[in-house]
A and B are shown apart, each in its own frame.
Chain A
């Protein structure tokens, strides 16, 4: 059975919908209300507070901590500066992505890694011969994401100094009421936001303090359904939805290289040996057959299809995770794996994996639309990701350019 996170006493009291799902063995709220829309608007216009404790978290400590992470991940960490957070993926020997997550350089010889799948063994397996210790802190450290335009204002109530200077993907180790608090300028929303990390026993006071501080700013607790919409707007992939871990793949199409997922920017090939290096070099030379792209569904055509059935367009307000085929001139070229109406962009958007030759921005494709049980191709265009990218995401009032 799923287990409650340390925030459960608070979140369960607020979750009037009783909409839960299981996330990494924990109870996770899908939406506090029967509809997630209020939470969505809160995160885009005020602030949302999301329990992200279920993430797997590993503390990597020791003289070789950076070397271990460099050996496992597609980029190196030995030169990563203190206080920097990196979004990174890691691969198997064949250069196929296993998982993605963040690595925070907390201290000398101390990093923290977050993962979607349990990864203790994978890390330990590559730690042989290294002076490093990996500790699973998944269930001893609690975390909340505080996201949205008012996130800084809310967080500043707890952390009076340092936030204005805290840049995008940087970490701040601080204190709050005598308790240790780690703040990272990270999140899965593509918005201004922070993730706050504390020991389990400090979880409830932290929640209460944030809710209290957030009251004048319109802060709302938020669940995974709202997150699923904002993460698509932000162009973020979700493992097991937009791609599969090579560990769970039965057939080749279920495996992807970082290049196919648009993670090329994080791959650093010319460095000390790391898992998948040779295969990734080959993959880079040979080019890739598929690519993960952003799609925008042509609204007028979409509306037309509905009108042809005498119906007004009907859009799911949540992200739809059932993949639908994508065609080019009637030929199957891939699949759209996450689709949502973006209330902020006013566009119907999707994340899709398509044959590389159709991945260029502006490529005209068709996506399957089902209206009244009839499947009809609807024009869709390859567009830039992220779909939503506000300036505030990276803004830093305390640092002058």
Chain B
């Protein structure tokens, strides 16, 4: 072991890269090791078919923190974002609902289904915004530890408590409801139109193995409204060149600050001795020493894969074993000859945002039913984006890339996840058939198709059980419980081993928070 790094980051996903960039910016000697040939982890752009570049896994930039954009000077390093303009929901009868950024236009659209809902819709947005205002500090700071007696922890906790205390009484009631109710039940309190409620409710279930009527899913809808608070930074948008554009900008920033980044460098395991991480061993046998090892991989892969149960306290290892992954979604990436012809709409304005195949709450619940009993949804919820409309750099002229996020596709499919390779194309067919029903003629426009099941996401991208968030974003797996009680502050029971991926607080999405907050913790009293 000739060379020693201050920190080695395992995994070149957007959080690993963010962590590395912050450490390098602080003057540390940092090395990032990525198993694949391309950086980004699940925030990756790849030219899957010649001329067609896909955001292979994650497909929109949700909550990328504005302060990270500023700290790492990401605009300077090539980050460009294009806002999503609308949310389009086609219906089986040829009708459709489109929610626009223009409130008056949205009101007109919704009033075709319910005048009452049309009037209430802006009020709902305002109510959610009220809540999101208070939730935002939570994702911008390390999770407080309520069990701690450390005065600093207590002060942080009090600060957070104040956000809640400052809230008006009515707000507290709303918050409690959001924490306990299902997305669909919560929306039922506000709206009457199924056509409106269905596409709204899905933001409560994305990436979870839960249905829109499962309790606890309501609050996830808040995430959607948090993005809008930073509207000026366009937190919800397409990254130019695909979501890999975000990762590449962060990587460029990290390199600028002096980090070294290697691809095709798979880490076999974390070198541990005496309960302390000392470096990593690569798949090719090389051993690299470091003062600190940071894992951007998910908690199960990190602790039970790279570290090994024997190096961990049993209690902690058990918590990690119990941490819920159970991936529930797949991805179908399609190269298109032309835009999908949804009836009743001319032009492409309605296709410039996301398209939600969610024609009704019952439809969504039935989709979940299929998954509950071990099959993919015959008629799934699909969230489609066509980024090539607003970013022509990702497809040949006139052609388009279509990214379909599909839920449900349970990892634990009947007879076991290893059956996925033989079911994969049937799953892809179900997705295409579903879209064809809503946009007759769509299938004729397909040039190429890539289907990714949760099984594929696990094998290719290292996402345990195909969970896109490194573990479900359900309430019992958040904040001071992510990934395990007592270990939510990026530290791990292994000395000098840190967790900086989406399996750490505040969780998944192209947010960058776990990576940045991990680096800050390491630098600020973490011993680096």
Tell whether, in the assembled complex, residue A250 and residue B129 are in contact, meaning their CB atoms are under 8 Å apart: yes
Instruction: Kindly list chain A residues whose C-beta atoms are within 8 Å of the C-beta of B116.
Output: 120-121, 124
Tell whether, in the assembled complex, residue A1 and residue B105 are in contact, meaning their CB atoms are under 8 Å apart: yes
Instruction: Kindly list chain A residues whose C-beta atoms are within 8 Å of the C-beta of B107.
Output: 25, 118
With A25-B107, A250-B130 as known contacts, state yes or no: A118 contacts B115, CB within 8 Å: yes
Interface residues of B in 115-151 (CB under 8 A from A): 115-116, 118-120, 122-123, 126, 129-130, 133
Tell whether, in the assembled complex, residue A247 and residue B123 are in contact, meaning their CB atoms are under 8 Å apart: yes
Please measure, in the bound complex, the distance between the C-alpha atom of A205 and the C-alpha atom of B129, giving whole angstroms: 47
Interface residues of A in 229-264 (CB under 8 A from B): 247-248, 250
State the Cβ distance, B508 to closest chain A Cβ, in Å: 28
Instruction: Kindly list chain B residues whose C-beta atoms are within 8 Å of the C-beta of A24.
Output: 104
Contacts from A to B (Cβ < 8 Å): 1-2, 22, 24-25, 117-122, 124, 136, 247-248, 250
Instruction: Kindly list chain B residues whose C-beta atoms are within 8 Å of the C-beta of A120.
Output: 115-116, 119
Partner of B120, one of A22, A25, A121, A136: A121
Please measure, in the bound complex, the distance between the C-alpha atom of A143 and the C-alpha atom of B104, giving whole angstroms: 21
| A2 nearest in chain B by CB position | B104
Is B492 close to A, CB under 8 A?
no
Tell whether, in the assembled complex, residue A247 and residue B126 are in contact, meaning their CB atoms are under 8 Å apart: yes
Partner of B115, one of A2, A117, A121, A247: A121
Instruction: Kindly list chain A residues whose C-beta atoms are within 8 Å of the C-beta of B474.
Output: none
Please measure, in the bound complex, the distance between the C-alpha atom of A187 and the C-alpha atom of B108, giving whole angstroms: 27
Tell whether, in the assembled complex, residue A136 and residue B115 are in contact, meaning their CB atoms are under 8 Å apart: yes
Please measure, in the bound complex, the distance between the C-alpha atom of A121 and the C-alpha atom of B115, giving whole angstroms: 7
Please measure, in the bound complex, the distance between the C-alpha atom of A120 and the C-alpha atom of B126, giving whole angstroms: 19
Please measure, in the bound complex, the distance between the C-alpha atom of A122 and the C-alpha atom of B115, giving whole angstroms: 11
Partner of A248, one of B111, B115, B122, B133: B122
State the Cβ distance, A78 to closest chain B Cβ, in Å: 26
Instruction: Kindly list chain B residues whose C-beta atoms are within 8 Å of the C-beta of A247.
Output: 122-123, 126
Tell whether, in the assembled complex, residue A25 and residue B119 are in contact, meaning their CB atoms are under 8 Å apart: no
9 CB contacts below 8 A, A to B, read A25-B107, A118-B111, A118-B118, A121-B115, A121-B116, A122-B119, A247-B122, A247-B126, A250-B130
Please measure, in the bound complex, the distance between the C-alpha atom of A118 and the C-alpha atom of B107, giving whole angstroms: 10
Tell whether, in the assembled complex, residue B119 and residue A118 are in contact, meaning their CB atoms are under 8 Å apart: yes
Please measure, in the bound complex, the distance between the C-alpha atom of A124 and the C-alpha atom of B118, giving whole angstroms: 14
Instruction: Kindly list chain A residues whose C-beta atoms are within 8 Å of the C-beta of B118.
Output: 118
Q: Quick one: which of B115, B116, B119, B122 has the most chain A CB within 10 A?
A: B119
In addition to A121-B119, A247-B123, A247-B126, 15 A-B residue pairs with Cβ atoms within 8 Å of each other are A24-B104, A25-B104, A25-B108, A117-B119, A118-B115, A118-B119, A119-B119, A120-B115, A121-B115, A121-B120, A124-B116, A248-B126, A250-B126, A250-B130, A250-B133
Q: Quick one: which of A121, A247, A250 has the most chain B CB within 10 A?
A: A121
| B111 nearest in chain A by CB position | A118
| B117 nearest in chain A by CB position | A121
Please report the number of residue pairs spanning A and B whose Cβ atoms sit closer than 8 angstroms: 33
Please measure, in the bound complex, the distance between the C-alpha atom of A121 and the C-alpha atom of B116, giving whole angstroms: 5
Instruction: Kindly list chain A residues whose C-beta atoms are within 8 Å of the C-beta of B120.
Output: 121
Give the contact-size bracket for chain B.
10 to 19
Please measure, in the bound complex, the distance between the C-alpha atom of A119 and the C-alpha atom of B107, giving whole angstroms: 12
Please measure, in the bound complex, the distance between the C-alpha atom of A343 and the C-alpha atom of B104, giving whole angstroms: 34
Please measure, in the bound complex, the distance between the C-alpha atom of A120 and the C-alpha atom of B192, giving whole angstroms: 14
Please measure, in the bound complex, the distance between the C-alpha atom of A247 and the C-alpha atom of B126, giving whole angstroms: 8
Please measure, in the bound complex, the distance between the C-alpha atom of A240 and the C-alpha atom of B119, giving whole angstroms: 17
Contacts from B to A (Cβ < 8 Å): 104-105, 107-108, 111, 115-116, 118-120, 122-123, 126, 129-130, 133
Please measure, in the bound complex, the distance between the C-alpha atom of A246 and the C-alpha atom of B120, giving whole angstroms: 13
| B168 nearest in chain A by CB position | A252
| B114 nearest in chain A by CB position | A121
| B120 nearest in chain A by CB position | A121
Instruction: Kindly list chain A residues whose C-beta atoms are within 8 Å of the C-beta of B108.
Output: 25
State the Cβ distance, B172 to closest chain A Cβ, in Å: 16
Please measure, in the bound complex, the distance between the C-alpha atom of A118 and the C-alpha atom of B116, giving whole angstroms: 9
Instruction: Kindly list chain B residues whose C-beta atoms are within 8 Å of the C-beta of A2.
Output: 104
Instruction: Kindly list chain B residues whose C-beta atoms are within 8 Å of the C-beta of A119.
Output: 119
State the Cβ distance, B174 to closest chain A Cβ, in Å: 14
Please measure, in the bound complex, the distance between the C-alpha atom of A1 and the C-alpha atom of B349, giving whole angstroms: 12
Instruction: Kindly list chain B residues whose C-beta atoms are within 8 Å of the C-beta of A122.
Output: 119
| B108 nearest in chain A by CB position | A25
State the Cβ distance, A81 to closest chain B Cβ, in Å: 31
Please measure, in the bound complex, the distance between the C-alpha atom of A247 and the C-alpha atom of B133, giving whole angstroms: 17
State the Cβ distance, A34 to closest chain B Cβ, in Å: 26
Instruction: Kindly list chain A residues whose C-beta atoms are within 8 Å of the C-beta of B111.
Output: 118
| B129 nearest in chain A by CB position | A250
With A247-B123, A250-B126 as known contacts, state yes or no: A22 contacts B104, CB within 8 Å: yes
| A125 nearest in chain B by CB position | B116
Q: Quick one: which of A22, A118, A247, A250 has the most chain B CB within 10 A?
A: A118
Please measure, in the bound complex, the distance between the C-alpha atom of A250 and the C-alpha atom of B122, giving whole angstroms: 12
Instruction: Kindly list chain B residues whose C-beta atoms are within 8 Å of the C-beta of A248.
Output: 122, 126
Please measure, in the bound complex, the distance between the C-alpha atom of A124 and the C-alpha atom of B116, giving whole angstroms: 9
State the Cβ distance, B223 to closest chain A Cβ, in Å: 19
State the Cβ distance, A59 to closest chain B Cβ, in Å: 15
State the Cβ distance, A124 to closest chain B Cβ, in Å: 7
Instruction: Kindly list chain A residues whose C-beta atoms are within 8 Å of the C-beta of B130.
Output: 250
Instruction: Kindly list chain B residues whose C-beta atoms are within 8 Å of the C-beta of A1.
Output: 105
State the Cβ distance, B520 to closest chain A Cβ, in Å: 30
| A23 nearest in chain B by CB position | B104
Instruction: Kindly list chain A residues whose C-beta atoms are within 8 Å of the C-beta of B115.
Output: 118, 120-121, 136
State the Cβ distance, A4 to closest chain B Cβ, in Å: 14
State the Cβ distance, B344 to closest chain A Cβ, in Å: 15
State the Cβ distance, A31 to closest chain B Cβ, in Å: 21
Please measure, in the bound complex, the distance between the C-alpha atom of A2 and the C-alpha atom of B118, giving whole angstroms: 16
Please measure, in the bound complex, the distance between the C-alpha atom of A120 and the C-alpha atom of B105, giving whole angstroms: 17
| B119 nearest in chain A by CB position | A121
State the Cβ distance, A147 to closest chain B Cβ, in Å: 26
Instruction: Kindly list chain B residues whose C-beta atoms are within 8 Å of the C-beta of A117.
Output: 119
State the Cβ distance, B292 to closest chain A Cβ, in Å: 43
State the Cβ distance, A119 to closest chain B Cβ, in Å: 7
Please measure, in the bound complex, the distance between the C-alpha atom of A85 and the C-alpha atom of B520, giving whole angstroms: 65
Instruction: Kindly list chain B residues whose C-beta atoms are within 8 Å of the C-beta of A25.
Output: 104, 107-108
Question: What 10 pairs across the A-B complex have the smallest Cβ distances?
Answer: A121-B116, A121-B119, A118-B119, A25-B104, A120-B115, A247-B123, A25-B108, A121-B120, A22-B104, A120-B119
Instruction: Kindly list chain A residues whose C-beta atoms are within 8 Å of the C-beta of B105.
Output: 1
State the Cβ distance, A289 to closest chain B Cβ, in Å: 18
Please measure, in the bound complex, the distance between the C-alpha atom of A118 and the C-alpha atom of B114, giving whole angstroms: 13
Please measure, in the bound complex, the distance between the C-alpha atom of A136 and the C-alpha atom of B104, giving whole angstroms: 17
State the Cβ distance, A57 to closest chain B Cβ, in Å: 14
| A122 nearest in chain B by CB position | B119
| A24 nearest in chain B by CB position | B104
Instruction: Kindly list chain A residues whose C-beta atoms are within 8 Å of the C-beta of B123.
Output: 247
Q: Quick one: which of B104, B105, B122 has the most chain A CB within 10 A?
A: B104
Please measure, in the bound complex, the distance between the C-alpha atom of A230 and the C-alpha atom of B116, giving whole angstroms: 34
State the Cβ distance, B173 to closest chain A Cβ, in Å: 14
Instruction: Kindly list chain B residues whose C-beta atoms are within 8 Å of the C-beta of A250.
Output: 126, 129-130, 133
State the Cβ distance, A282 to closest chain B Cβ, in Å: 16
Please measure, in the bound complex, the distance between the C-alpha atom of A22 and the C-alpha atom of B123, giving whole angstroms: 21
| B116 nearest in chain A by CB position | A121
Instruction: Kindly list chain A residues whose C-beta atoms are within 8 Å of the C-beta of B104.
Output: 2, 22, 24-25
State the Cβ distance, B326 to closest chain A Cβ, in Å: 38
Please measure, in the bound complex, the distance between the C-alpha atom of A121 and the C-alpha atom of B123, giving whole angstroms: 12
Please measure, in the bound complex, the distance between the C-alpha atom of A120 and the C-alpha atom of B114, giving whole angstroms: 11
Please measure, in the bound complex, the distance between the C-alpha atom of A22 and the C-alpha atom of B103, giving whole angstroms: 12
Please measure, in the bound complex, the distance between the C-alpha atom of A248 and the C-alpha atom of B120, giving whole angstroms: 11
State the Cβ distance, A129 to closest chain B Cβ, in Å: 17
| B100 nearest in chain A by CB position | A1
State the Cβ distance, B366 to closest chain A Cβ, in Å: 30
State the Cβ distance, A194 to closest chain B Cβ, in Å: 29
Please measure, in the bound complex, the distance between the C-alpha atom of A2 and the C-alpha atom of B105, giving whole angstroms: 8
Please measure, in the bound complex, the distance between the C-alpha atom of A247 and the C-alpha atom of B122, giving whole angstroms: 9
State the Cβ distance, A113 to closest chain B Cβ, in Å: 15
Instruction: Kindly list chain B residues whose C-beta atoms are within 8 Å of the C-beta of A118.
Output: 107, 111, 115, 118-119
Please measure, in the bound complex, the distance between the C-alpha atom of A22 and the C-alpha atom of B107, giving whole angstroms: 14
State the Cβ distance, A139 to closest chain B Cβ, in Å: 10
